[in-house]
Amino acid sequence: MDFNPCMKHQVVRKTVREFAENEIGPHAASLDREGRFPTEIIEKMGPLNYFGLQVPPSLGGAGLDTISYAIVIEELSRVCAALGLCVSVHNSVGLYPILRFGTDEQIARFVPDMAAGKHIGAFCLTEANAGSDAGGVETTAAKTEEGYTINGTKIFVTNGGVCDVVLVFAVDAGGKEQSRPNVFIVEKTCPGFSVGEIEDLCGMRANPVSSLFFEDCRIPETNLLGKPGQGLKIGLTALDTGRIGIAAQALGIAQAAFEAALSYAKERQQFNSPLTKFQTIQNYLADMATSIESSRMLLYRAAAAKDKGGDFGAQAAMAKLSCSATARTVTDLAVQIHGGYGYSREYDVERYFREAKVTQIYEGTSEVQKMVIARHLITRPS
């Protein structure tokens, strides 16, 4: 058991950090303030393989392992969590299910452009009456002679405002398999597809999260992903993968907040001493670092488990639960260490504080992660 990162993972981290600090960092605060999706940065990231992280090189991707994937999302999110979110969702729940469950024809048709960053991917499950409860999905897909007709509204879709390809969770319209949902690949050019207004959110404001409308949206039969009735399996697999990405995102936010707090505590003088001389602040910093390191171990273990094959769902849920809780507590303490300045938009920690919360909500709330973990504990052979 070696807990030291290998040379490859160190190079991956340095490679992403250099790009993120030079090309994204100077704009992260203004993107958040303006709620602007940085198309110009996305265009730079495409040729560098950020949108095909685990796609085989033969299809134009980077062919990275899952620990590398987690490091990429962690490093992007350390600088700009909204962009880390875009890349994470695109790769994990937008693209990966097509690679995993798609036909050769679907892979050839969709993956190369998605891997090149020319087409942005999204995944939509949540509705007004469904989210954590996937069984409550009301969006329907009716089989027609030409293919399928989808009707329904999806909400809080990450990348919704800029997606070109979206995986849609829908149940059969009135059929006997109504309880067995399917996943469909919908292109933005499909008739009947439209994008709602961009949500006015607390954080992740540079990501165009929106509703998506499907009004008699017609798609060809070849856009059904996987076998009929396989939607739940595809969805759960996608979410397991997505949770590694969101855990990495949360960890990146926590790391950024910790670095900012440590730097500030070294410089800020009170009572003629830097803050780091005060034991309370030392305790805060020690708690923050310990929490980050323990969450990081869980995350990389889950990522390694995915690469080994087999069920990694519980480990991904533990990683997501832990990393998102770490992000919340660390960003909270980072604001506290900054005092009044931490509550000001002049400092980045208030942004980290706003961004951290949602990592406990999307890709399965913390409560759902505990359900997943508990189910694993209870049902596994003793």
Partner 1 sequence: MENNTLDIIVCIKQVPMVSELPWNSKTGTLKRELAQGMMDPASRLALEAGLRLQRAGQSQDRRIRVTALTMGPPMAEEVLHQAVSLGADHGILLTDRKMAGADTNLTSFILGRYIRMFKPDTGLVLCGAQTSDSETAQVGPQLACELDFPAIGWASDIRLTQNALVVTRLVDDFMETLEMDLPGLVTIDLGAFVPRYAGLAGVAQAFASPKIDVVDADDLELDRNFNALEDSPTRILDVFSPATQKESRVLKGAAKTVVDQLFADYGKIISSAMGKDLKKK
The site that binds partner 1 (CB under 8 A) totals a number of residues, namely 24
CB of 244 to partner 1, least distance (A): 17
Residue closer to partner 1 by CB (options 150, 248) is 248
- Which span sits near partner 1 by CB under 8 A: 53-61, 185-193, 215-223, 224-232? 53-61
- Nearest Cα neighbor of 97 from 167, 189, 181 is 167
Residue that is written with structure tokens 């049902």 in the block:
379
Alpha helix segments (H runs only) across the chain: 7-19, 25-34, 39-45, 66-79, 81-89, 96-101, 104-115, 231-267, 279-308, 313-338, 349-358, 366-379
Minimum CB–partner distance for residue 11 and partner 1 (Å): 6
CA distances from 49 to 68, 161, 260 (A): 13, 22, 29
Q: Which contiguous run of DSSP H or E holds residue 23?
A: none
Q: Concatenate the DSSP letters of all residues of 319-346 into one string.
A: HHHHHHHHHHHHHHHHHHHHGGGGGSTT
Does residue 1 bind partner 1 (CB under 8 A)? no
Phi–psi pair at 197, nearest 5 degrees? -70, 150
**CB of 8 or CB of 227, closer to partner 1:** 8
| 191 binds partner 1, rule: CB under 8 A | no
CA distance 206 to 158: 11
Among residues 18, 23, 363, 367, which one is catalytic? 363
64 sits near partner 1 (criterion: CB under 8 A):
yes
Q: Is 50 in the site for partner 1 (CB under 8 A)?
A: yes
- C-alpha closest to that of 120 among 172, 68, 162: 162
Interface characters, 82-111, with partner 1 (x: CB under 8 A) = ------------------------------
Among 1, 2, 4, 7, binds partner 1 (CB under 8 A): 7
- Other beta carbons within 10 angstroms of residue 35's beta carbon come to 16
Which distant-in-sequence residues (6+ apart) come within 8 Å of 193 by Cβ?
Answer: 186, 187, 212, 213, 214, 217
48 interacts with partner 1 by CB under 8 A: yes
Q: Are 217 and 197 in contact (CB under 8 A)?
A: no
Which residues from 289-318 bind partner 1, rule CB under 8 A? none
Q: Which of residues 12-41 bind partner 1 (CB under 8 A)?
A: 12, 14-16, 18-19, 23
- By CB under 8 A, name the one of 26, 57, 220, 339 that touches partner 1: 57
- The answer to whether residue 345 forms part of the interface with partner 1 (CB under 8 A) is no
Is 105 a known active-site residue? Answer: no
Q: How far is the CB of 100 from partner 1 (least distance, A)?
A: 19
Binding of partner 1 at residue 276 (CB under 8 A)?
A: no
Residues paired with residue 269 on neighbouring β-strands, in sequence order: 274
CB 82 within 8 A of CB 31: yes
The residue among 5 and 35 lying less far from partner 1, judged by its C-beta, is 5
Which of these ranges, 44-52, 245-253, 284-292, 346-354, lies near partner 1 under the rule CB under 8 A?
A: 44-52
CA distances from 264 to 81, 220, 268, 345 (A): 21, 56, 6, 15
Residue 5 or 196: the one with the smaller Cβ distance to partner 1 is 5
Q: Under the rule (CB under 8 A), what is the footprint of partner 1?
A: 7-8, 10-12, 14-16, 18-19, 23, 47-50, 52-53, 57, 61-64, 68, 72
Residues that are catalytic = 363
